Amino acid sequence: MQGVTSNDFSSAQGTPRHDLESSPAATVSAGPGPGPAPEDLLRRLRARGAADPVTHVERVPARAGVPAPWPPWASAELRAAFATRGVVAPWQHQAEAANLAYEGQHVVVATGTASGKSLAYQLPALATLLADPRATVLYLAPTKALAADQLRAVAALELEGVRPACYDGDTPRAEREWIRRHSRFVLTNPDMLHHGILPGHAQWSGFLRRLAYVVIDECHTYRGVFGSHVAHVLRRLRRQCARFGATPVFVLASATSGDPATAAGRLTGLPVTAVTEDASPRGGVTFALWEPPLLPPESGSAAPVPPGSSSPVPPQATGDDFPLPVPPQADGGHSSLPAPPQADGGHDDLRQVRRSALRETADLLADTVAEGVRTLAFVRSRKGAEVVAANARRSLDEAVPGLGDRVAAYRGGYLREERRELERALLHGDLLGLASTNALELGVDLVGLDAVLICGYPGTRASLWQQAGRAGRSGQEALAVLVARDDPLDTYLVHHPEAIFGAPVEATVLDPANPYVLAPQLACAAVEAPLTPADLALFGDGAKEAVDELVAAGALRQRPTGWYWRHRERPEVDLRGEGGAPVCVVESSTGRLLGTVDGGSSHFLLHPGAVHLHQGVSYVVDDLDLADGCALVHAEEPDWSTHARDVTDLSVVSVRSYVDAGPVGMFLGEVDVTSQVVSYQRRRIATGEVIDTRPLDLPTRELRTVAVWFTLSPQSLTLAGVQPADVPGALHAAEHAAIGLLPLMATCDRWDIGGLSTAVHQDTEAPTVFVYDGHPGGAGFAERAYATASAWLRATRDAIAECGCETGCPSCVQSPKCGNGNNPLSKPDAIRVLDVVLANLPD
């Protein structure tokens, strides 16, 4: 069955490999033919420059598969349908998970990319639909693209009576009634379940009372505040099913993660059995860690790049059409009063930087495409994906006119028609290279590509392996390259490969008891049906206290039969913490809708005067109307880029826990953070030179969240050799590095967290460094930092000390999102500060 699916190959046992985790139709065309072997390709890429940029090469060996017999309950019709798609028999982990689900146990299958997790849930779900003509199945994906991909996979089986259909924001209203009445396999996302299906449960009563399975795909993505919201959406779903007499089995699929059973149980509120032994075959992978070279001091960041790309911008952690939460963009400040620049920090050090990871990735993408290698480049930001694609296209067209047309960008914020056309072009081989945000990490199946480039550490080892796993065609060898950004964590990782290859993947962190999540979700549940005491047990710890607060606030009214919602309108609950409704980007001269930007990023990316990139075209923002959610832009290609700057203030609300370590104190508690974008810089694209700073008048935003912070006595700093005038720069540098290294300990990246440092804070009355979760109520990251404080801060100290720069650089103490322009900073004094903390803090 070679070539039937996108990655069929024979294992040692002679069993064809299969992966119905995505559509069998998602076969990438061969393009110009097979490229060089991964080792040869890597050798050619390394030879481009004078210095070798590769710091480590890891060889992930190939693995044979372990097949299993079809379960006896799988009908001949179902087995024949899978056989037509190249599936001769399941792998052992697929059969194990499928049997558990069919027997009525809630199960999570947590195995590697392309291990065929979809067969583990398709098999019991479809067998039940064929055996019981009234049964239904609900499938949830974190992105629309993934749901659409799974729809193609199920529809391709051509099973009579299943009638699969996608029900999401793109579904025409004319089709929605038919889906509610007739579809037995509905594919949607948590957002539509929250906004559409559960509020309309009466219309969905026939579907819900016959619900046999709930499939939760890529469940490891439900972390932090988003995951906590989804946990309660699932509890609301269970509640409505119980009202209709249904008790569906939950089947979850996850990338390899730490303790998946506990995470899945916390997400669903049910006991879940984990299947973690991956029995699928796998081709070998050559995994290289790549550090771009240092630029000469006099060149600064002078390499010309397209508009808006001369320095990093806040990436959005996107799903496909529903961006994940975007946290505060500023690391914070050094104090409430400006301090004079330090001799060993400040703007002068910005000249000594490494070559941009975006430029390096664009060149690598162009080189691999020119070699005939089908390549996907993962880029952390929407703007970065546009820049990488534009640079790669330009380089390819200079070499072979027209070859640049084989490369494109893919990101959230595109119109539906644009996304579908790009997906079609990729699946049919019209595109040979793609620069994408993580929208495609979980979206259209890309297993079968020859190489994956990862521009910057994606924040977790789970995401890193998920992205790297997209490489591998027909069981052949594949190449994965992590291109390090000029960032403390990236630099640490490329010089400490054991932190990537020798460490287990992280556990998924979510907290359903977060009161900022629990209360609004209980309000939504009360709208759907009055809450009863029995319901409070379903929603877990803190539910009674949250209900009491809702009653006190006048949102609920208590009656003998339960708690009732008092208002006419539904509560507004933002599952993904995007900071408000999306802002439409409209071309002012034509009225054409270009796309959208989530509300949380609009202050930074769409302020008046901002440069906005869309499919390689540069626009300048004329006006931002936050009330109407609209930004008017005009096409222009200026020779400058824009960089928003904000100010941040923080006050301590309460202390949950603390450690008294003599001159050092370590604290965990609630804080209030206020931030405001107050200005933006215009910088020359060619040189990075600051042209001017222009004021902005945008509203202040407030956040109550959880923070970890440490204090030091002034005397301990003096004894360590940190002079009073150098304290702001020392703390500021330590704060930046600590934020950059926290993802080593917590399931987050630096864009999930913020920070602030000050020589004297009004609440602590001491030199203090704060690091806080960028989500209302917290997301568990600060708690993890507090629990691992010694290890976290020791890794931070080592990353600063081991950096080869003399006075501080983006690889150690500078931050791409600093609200104070990385001024002041003192690298040697930051080491002294952390030495004091580590000398006194207990392990």
Whole-angstrom Cα distance, residue 749 to residue 317?
10
Indicate if the pLDDT at residue 439 is higher than 80. Answer: no
Q: How confident is the model at residue 646 (pLDDT cuts 50, 70, 90)?
A: confident
Q: How confident is the model at residue 13 (pLDDT cuts 50, 70, 90)?
A: very low
Q: How confident is the model at residue 31 (pLDDT cuts 50, 70, 90)?
A: very low
pLDDT at 826: 92
- Of residues 404 and 814, more confidence is placed in 404
| Average pLDDT over all residues of the chain | 83
Indicate if the pLDDT at residue 20 is higher than 50. Answer: no
**684-693 mean pLDDT:** 80
**600-626 mean pLDDT:** 87
Which of 252, 259, 265 has its CA nearest to residue 108? Answer: 252
Indicate if the pLDDT at residue 70 is higher than 50. Answer: yes
pLDDT at 513: 85
Range among 27-31, 498-502, 586-590 with highest mean pLDDT value: 586-590
Q: How confident is the model at residue 407 (pLDDT cuts 50, 70, 90)?
A: very high
- Of residues 827 and 410, more confidence is placed in 827
Indicate if the pLDDT at residue 302 is higher than 50. Answer: no
Backbone phi and psi for residue 292, each to the nearest 5 degrees, phi listed first: -55, 150
**392-402 mean pLDDT:** 92
Q: Is 687 exposed, middle or buried (0-12, 13-18, 19+ CB in 10 A)?
A: middle
pLDDT at 578: 59
**662-681 mean pLDDT:** 94
Q: Is 564 exposed, middle or buried (0-12, 13-18, 19+ CB in 10 A)?
A: middle
**737-744 mean pLDDT:** 87
- Of residues 681 and 354, more confidence is placed in 681
Strands, sheet with 54-60, edge to edge from the N-terminal-most edge strand: 54-60, 285-290, 478-483, 451-455, 375-379, 433-436, 407-410
* 252 in Cβ contact with 268 (< 8 Å): yes
Poorest-pLDDT segment among 234-238, 313-317, 473-477, 717-721: 313-317
**Tokens (6 digits) for 831:** 């080491």
Q: How confident is the model at residue 516 (pLDDT cuts 50, 70, 90)?
A: confident
* 324 in Cβ contact with 751 (< 8 Å): no
Taking only the tens place, the pLDDT of each residue in 779-832 is: 788 998 999 999 999 999 999 998 877 778 777 887 766 766 677 889 999 999
Whole-angstrom Cα distance, residue 587 to residue 245?
51
pLDDT at 419: 75
Indicate if the pLDDT at residue 244 is higher than 70. Answer: yes
Whole-angstrom Cα distance, residue 837 to residue 623?
47
- Of residues 683 and 119, more confidence is placed in 119
pLDDT at 189: 95
**Tokens (6 digits) for 208:** 């819900």
- Cα 3 to chain centroid distance, Å, stands at 32
Q: Where are the beta strands (DSSP E) in 10-133?
A: 54-60, 107-110
Indicate if the pLDDT at residue 633 is higher than 60. Answer: yes
pLDDT at 821: 64
Taking only the tens place, the pLDDT of each residue in 249-260 is: 999 998 777 789
Indicate if the pLDDT at residue 670 is higher than 90. Answer: yes
Q: How confident is the model at residue 34 (pLDDT cuts 50, 70, 90)?
A: low
The interaxial angle of helices 144-156 and 416-427, nearest 10 deg, is: 50
Which of 436, 151, 451, 470 has its CA nearest to residue 319? Answer: 436
Indicate if the pLDDT at residue 185 is higher than 60. Answer: yes
Taking only the tens place, the pLDDT of each residue in 103-122 is: 999 999 998 877 889 999 99
pTM to 2 decimal places: 0.75
pLDDT at 784: 87
Q: How confident is the model at residue 579 (pLDDT cuts 50, 70, 90)?
A: low
Query: Please, what's the largest Cα pairwise distance for the chain?
Result: 79
Poorest-pLDDT segment among 162-171, 343-352, 570-579, 730-739: 343-352
pLDDT at 348: 31
Taking only the tens place, the pLDDT of each residue in 378-393 is: 998 878 888 899 999 9
